[in-house]
């Protein structure tokens, strides 16, 4: 298995533009998590899905952020409009089975820079 796949790996955009981050979880994993990592705030859980259904989106910072999981092998995190403070590394992770007690496998991350 190729592991969790994220695209793009780097994204540079201008303030006000729409940004879409993509994630393909490990095949067979039924949980998918989106995290944001910054120096100031560390690793923050934004939202997670179970069997394609959003379970907890309380970490989504504001209405500019939205996430979808149309099927078991694909999820998107969208920021519209983007702002400089959204600059961060965004990680997607997946796991199998009922938490707790199951390792989350992280993707390589998308480094987002909003100018």
Partner 1 sequence: GENVEQHPSTLSVQEGDSAVIKCTYSDSASNYFPWYKQELGKRPQLIIDIRSNVGEKKDQRIAVTLNKTAKHFSLHITETQPEDSAVYFCAASKNDMRFGAGTRLTVKP
Query: Which residue's CB is nearer to partner 1, number 15 or number 43?
Result: 43
The distance of closest approach from Cβ of residue 18 to partner 1 in the complex, given in angstroms and rounded to an integer, is 25
Which spans of this chain sit near partner 1 (rule: CB under 8 A)? 33, 42-45, 48, 55-56, 58, 91, 99-104, 106-109
Cα dihedral across residues 23, 24, 26, 30: positive or negative: positive
Bridge partner residues of 112 (DSSP): 11, 88
The distance of closest approach from Cβ of residue 40 to partner 1 in the complex, given in angstroms and rounded to an integer, is 10
Query: Which residue's CB is nearer to partner 1, number 28 or number 42?
Result: 42
HSE toward the beta carbon, residue 71, CA cutoff 13 A = 4
Count of all residues that appear for the chain in the document: 115
Query: Which residue's CB is nearer to partner 1, number 30 or number 44?
Result: 44
The distance of closest approach from Cβ of residue 58 to partner 1 in the complex, given in angstroms and rounded to an integer, is 7
The distance of closest approach from Cβ of residue 16 to partner 1 in the complex, given in angstroms and rounded to an integer, is 28
In Å, how far from its chain's centre is CA 30?
15
CA dihedral 73, 79, 83, 86 (to 10 degrees): -30
């Amino acid at each position: 298995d190729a592991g969790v796949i994220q695209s793009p790996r780097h994204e540079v955009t201008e303030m006000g533009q729409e940004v879409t981050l993509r994630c393909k979880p490990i095949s067979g994993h039924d949980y998918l998590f989106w995290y944001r990592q910054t120096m100031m705030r560390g690793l923050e859980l934004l939202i997670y899905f179970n069997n394609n259904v959003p379970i907890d989106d309380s970490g989504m910072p504001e209405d500019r952020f939205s996430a979808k999981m149309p099927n078991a092998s694909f999820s998107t995190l969208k920021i519209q409009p983007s702002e400089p403070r959204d600059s961060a590394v965004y990680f997607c992770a997946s796991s199998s089975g009922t938490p707790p007690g199951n390792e989350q496998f992280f993707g390589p991350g998308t480094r987002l820079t909003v100018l």
